[in-house]
Each structure stands twice: as structure tokens, then as C-alpha cells.
Amino acid sequence: MSSIPRYNDAALPPPPAGEVRTARGQMSRMLLATVLVALTARPAHAFIAYVSNEKSNTVSVIDTDSWTVAKTIKVGQRPRGIEFTRDGKFVMVAIGDDDTIQMIDAKTQAVVDTLPSGPDPELFTQDAAGRTLYVANENDNTVTVIDLEKRARLGDIQVGVEPEGMTISPDGKTLINTSETTNMAHFIDTASRKIVANVLVDARPRFAEFKHDASELWVSSEIGGTVSVIDPNKHAVIGKVNFEIPGLRKEAIQPVGIGMTKDDKTAFVALGPANRIAVVDTATRKVTKYLLVGQRVWHMAFTPDEKYLLTTNGVSNDVSVIDVAAQKVIKTIQVGELPWGITIAP
């Protein structure tokens, strides 16, 4: 039985020392190239999240690859609503006590501009093209309309008392504003900027979210403790989502932020001082699970791949990371004081 020739076999004399070194160098370079290819080819899920901290007057920048705060940006007094522009170049932050919207450059992560708003801006939404911004001003019962390209105020729409929730229909034709004290969802025609319908919901509506197919509008009522499901064509409440957590008083369950999966099958609802996210089957409108998160959960945002849902927890000063498929909290990230809003790079 013959053996495989080796360098010390008489049949195969060893190569010169220089050739050995050359071969080793080539192997090292090949190994390095292989490692680099493996590293660059690995699945990338890293996105950048921005969290508005209402009391510390900062925005925390979270790297979702390491799940750490990469930077803290100083902004104006009492930042709340926060959202990327449609092109992903800027992060807009509603600065409540300064009566303005600040713009953060996503590349430099510095405040570079401001937008005009009314007194105490809270939440806002923009059209699909990213040309028009609609801002709820809590202190003067108006929605301000802003031209994002010109950075100019186009006018105001009079709504109910203490406007907060803002969303726009998928076709861009209908703007929704919720008024906390009037307890209504206002349907506004974006072409005429006139209210076309008012729908009464339960006490203190805070947030509004359309299904992606526009078949339903969901509105959370913080004091009422429910989510109203509205038919946007008939302008009527067609159902409600109720919550019940063993061991908690009913008044401790206060729905605020809502997140809807892209297939519209599952909704996640932040329950405020109940310190939980409710997982809701949108077909049955029943809660299937409660996820324990940080204290006083406010708002949430999905990563663009919808693998994770991040929630802001105002009293515990942290962000909870939820694995959407597993419906499980997997991480907690410490941020600034009283985190309120969150947005993630598109």
C-alpha cells in the first residue's frame, strides 16, 4: 500500500525555503480574504433607533446591532413626537416647551434646522411623498400644516381640545387627529383641510393607527382603557378591544401607543402604567398575550425587517426589545430620563 508523498519523502524533495514562505503568504492572504467575505456576507439587521427623552431633553441613538446607546444628542425642552423624514435624511423631533420641530441630520447626528409649529407640538405625521407635515399642537387646539421642502408653515386646522394622535390614511386622502379632552377622532380631508367627520371614542384618545389595507382605524383611549376600532368609510365604531390583567386594577390599564404588523394580523398595544404590551389578534380583537416590559410604557417602533419591536418605558428610563416572532422581551436598554417617542431608520 503506497503512502501519500510528504516533504521528507525521498520521492519528493522539499521545495526551496523561499517558495515555502511564498506559499504560506498566499495561504494567509487567502484565509484573510475568506474571513472578510464571511464577515461582509453575514446577514445584517443593524438599524439605528432614535428615542426622545422628555425630561433630560435629549435624544438617545441606539445601534440595534449591539443594542447599545451609541450617542446622546442634546435637543430643546420636552421632546416627544419623533419621526424620520421619508428620505431618511433627517429625524424630526417635536419640542413641546419650545413650540417648534427640530431637525437632526441623520449623518452628522446634530440639530441642523427647525420647523414652525403651534404651541406645544406633541405628535405629527407626514404624507407618503414626505412633502407635507401635519403637527398636533396641544395648547391651541390646532393642527399645523408645514411644507417640508420650503420649511414653511402653510396654515392651521382647528380641531378639538388637546389634540395629540396623528396619522394619515394609506392613500393620503384622510388625516386623522385625536383630541384628548373632546374624546373624538377627527377625519380631515387633506385636499380641503376641512373636518369631514367626528367620531366619538372613549375617554382621552391618545394614538391612532390605520391598518395597512385601510380597512380599519384603531384609536387608543388612555382613561377609557380601550381601543376603538373604526370603519373609516362609515365613520363609525365597529368594535372595541378590551384589556384585563389579573392582579391589576382596571384604571391602571391605560392604552397609548399602537403598532400593527405589515400583514395586519397582529397589533401591539402599549398599556402605560400596566407596564405591559398587549398582543392582539386583529381578526378576533382579542388579546392573546401580555408582555411585561419596563415601567410606564408609551410608544413603540418596529425595525424595518419587523424582527424586533422597541418600546419606550417612561418611568424606568429604558427601552424594551421584543422579538416579534417569539413574542418575547429579549433585551432592555437604558436611555435618558422619561423616554417617550421612538423612530427607526427606514
Task: Give residue-wise pLDDT tens across range 180-228.
Answer: 999 999 999 999 999 999 999 999 999 999 999 999 999 999 999 999 9
Q: Is residue 224 part of a domain?
A: yes
Q: Is residue 3 part of a domain?
A: no
Q: What is the CATH number of the domain that holds 284?
A: 2.130.10.10
Residues whose CB falls within 8 Å of the CB of residue 64, separated by 6 or more in sequence, listed in order: 45, 46, 47, 48, 49, 303, 308, 310, 344
Task: Give me 307's grid cell.
Answer: 424582527
Q: Return the pLDDT at 16.
A: 54
What does the radius of gyration of the chain's CA atoms come to, in whole angstroms? 26
Q: Is residue 147 part of a domain?
A: yes
Q: Is residue 24 part of a domain?
A: no
Q: Is residue 12 part of a domain?
A: no
Q: Return the pLDDT at 31.
A: 52
Judge residue 129's burial from the number of C-beta atoms within 10 Å of its C-beta, 0-12 exposed, 13-18 middle, 19 or more buried: exposed
The position carrying cell 407618503 is 128
Q: Is residue 221 part of a domain?
A: yes
Q: Return the pLDDT at 3.
A: 39
Question: Which amino acid is it at 246?
Answer: P
Q: Is residue 41 part of a domain?
A: no
Residues whose CB falls within 8 Å of the CB of residue 211, separated by 6 or more in sequence, listed in order: 217, 218, 260, 264, 282
Q: Return the pLDDT at 5.
A: 37
Q: State the average pLDDT for the chain.
A: 91
Q: Return the pLDDT at 46.
A: 78
Global confidence as pTM:
0.87
Q: Is residue 83 part of a domain?
A: yes
Average pLDDT (301-318) is 98
pLDDT band of 346, cuts 50, 70, 90: confident
**What's the number of domains the chain is made of?**
1
- The boundaries of the domain holding residue 236 are 47-344
What DSSP designation does 43 have? P
Average pLDDT (137-141) is 95
pLDDT band of 2, cuts 50, 70, 90: very low
pLDDT at 285 > cutoff 60 = yes
Q: Which of 241, 322, 307, 239 is nearest to 276 (CA)?
A: 322
